[in-house]
Amino acid sequence: MRALGAEVVLSGDDFDAAKARARAHAEKNGFPFVEDGKEPAINEGAGSMAVELLHWPEPFDAILVALGNGALINGVGTWVKAHAPRTEVIGICATGAPSMQRSWASGSVVTTETVATILCGGNVTEEQFQAWFAAGANGGSE
């Protein structure tokens, strides 16, 4: 990023602290804050991976997608279901970051006190869950 002229600031002890710092910096300076999992265009961009996957010569029975905050699976799942509806899209999450899976199972946001994984952003917020659920997660595979 620096090579492209960006100012890179490392801040906070974890992903959430760094994100809070970035949000405060954007607000203070009047910059837009683009958040993965909240912006539909980012979800659509993640779907470009599915475009490439579906060029594979043989059809897939299933595609496993990291669940995280839901952005990647929303993008990939939307494209796959539109262009290869027989392919199952399965969300996976780290055992140490089960909040999205638990949220899905209960139908409401479930957070955990800790996230024990190298996964960034493994704990789900209300906004992320609602965006994921509204984008069609309720029609996908469990």
pLDDT, tens only, 28-73: 999 998 877 677 777 778 888 899 999 999 999 999 998 877 788 8
Q: Among 3.40.50.2300, 3.40.50.1100, 3.40.50.880, 3.40.50.10470, name the CATH number for the domain at 40-139.
A: 3.40.50.1100
- In terms of pLDDT, which residue wins out, 3 or 71? 3
Question: Do 101 and 67 form a contact (C-beta atoms < 8 A)?
Answer: yes
**108-114 contacts at long range (C-beta below 8 A, 24 or more positions apart):** none
Maximum distance among all alpha carbons in the chain? 50
Rounded Cα distance between 132 and 134, Å, is: 6
Rounded Cα distance between 103 and 101, Å, is: 5
Phi, psi of 108 (to 5 degrees): -150, 165
Rounded Cα distance between 31 and 112, Å, is: 31
Is the pLDDT at 27 greater than 70? The verdict is: yes
Q: How many distinct helices (H) and strands (E) make up the chain? A: 6, 2
Is the pLDDT at 122 greater than 80? The verdict is: no
Residue 67: per-residue pLDDT: 80
Q: Mean pLDDT over residues 11-32, rounded?
A: 87
How confident is residue 109, by pLDDT bands cut at 50, 70 and 90? confident
Place of tokens 């055992």: 95
pTM above 0.85, yes or no: no
- Annotated domain spans of the chain: 1-33, 40-139
Is the pLDDT at 142 greater than 70? The verdict is: no
Q: What value, to the nearest 5°, has the Cα angle with vertex 44 and ends 122 and 111?
A: 20
Residue 19: per-residue pLDDT: 84
